[in-house]
Amino acid sequence: MPEVQRLSVSAIRAEKICKSFGGLDVLRSLSLSVWPSQVVCVIGPSGSGKSTLLRCLNWLSPPTSGRIWIGNELLGMKQTDDGALVPLPDILLRRQRSRIGMVFQSFNLWPHRTAIENVMEGPIVVRRLRKAEARDRAATLLERVGLADKSEVYPARLSGGQQQRVAIARALAMEPEILLFDEPTSALDPELVGEVLDVMRALAEQNTTMIVVTHEIGFAAEAADRIIFMDEGAIIEEGAPKEFLSNPKEPRSRQFLDRYLSRATLAMR
């Protein structure tokens, strides 16, 4: 992809994020910035902290320490007159989180609502849109992800790929400033992966700001502006896809890519 022009304010920025569960340090002083219209793919072995990073970035799981900004706004916290940081009230936190869309690997659709009702829910409940306006927006988004003919179908009657495309439409319905994807194809049968990646490629081409945790190295090579490699809760290396994939600088990065490419070669035999 062409290099993204950096504006003065990042879309989202994390500074020295740490996250612990009991005595286990899952994220270790991790910092990153993502700029408007940039696509960043995060790769790494299982247990490296990738999904935890996303859950911190949208405050589903607040970090143990460190700070996150969306634009110029401190996420999840506010500063008191004496300089102390205190949790943001729930109503303000919900407003902030509506600026960050999230697509989960397990779809998380309402089973008792049709595809279009799933997409309508957020704008009606959070944004207080009129039902007719929310339905019009949802219909447009379902068409955008190739599911205009499935609007009145319940999730149980949709394939995994179709459910994930509904989930993407649902996230887009809130008009977020940034979209987070947590291994969006990992729960899909191999033949369904392509239809979800096609939607994500289209979003990337439309300059949607995205952070994508993925094991689809081919997608990262094609769609990302930057690849981040994580291991043991830290960013080991990052760079442009061509540079990172062809000439990783860190031994751990090379080891991971060598093993991945070896598995891919065996799978094609």
- Decide if pLDDT at 120 tops 60: yes
Mean pLDDT (whole number) for 18-47: 96
pLDDT at 263: 58
Kindly report, residue by residue over 73-106, the tens digit of the pLDDT.
999 999 888 888 899 999 899 889 999 999 999 9
User: What is the pLDDT confidence band of residue 262, given thresholds at 50, 70 and 90?
Assistant: low
In whole angstroms, give the CA distance from residue 130 to residue 120.
10
- How high does pLDDT run on average in the chain? 92
Note the pLDDT tens digit of each residue in 140-181: 999 999 999 999 999 999 999 999 999 999 999 999 999 999
Evaluate if residue 6 carries a pLDDT over 70: no
Alpha helices in 77-189 (DSSP H): 90-97, 115-125, 131-144, 160-173
**pLDDT of the residue at 51:** 96
pLDDT computed for residue 269 by the predictor: 38
Cβ atoms 204, 210 nearer than 8 A: yes
Q: Is 224 exposed, middle or buried (0-12, 13-18, 19+ CB in 10 A)?
A: buried
Q: pTM of whole model > 0.85?
A: yes
pLDDT in tens, 215-224: 999 999 999 9
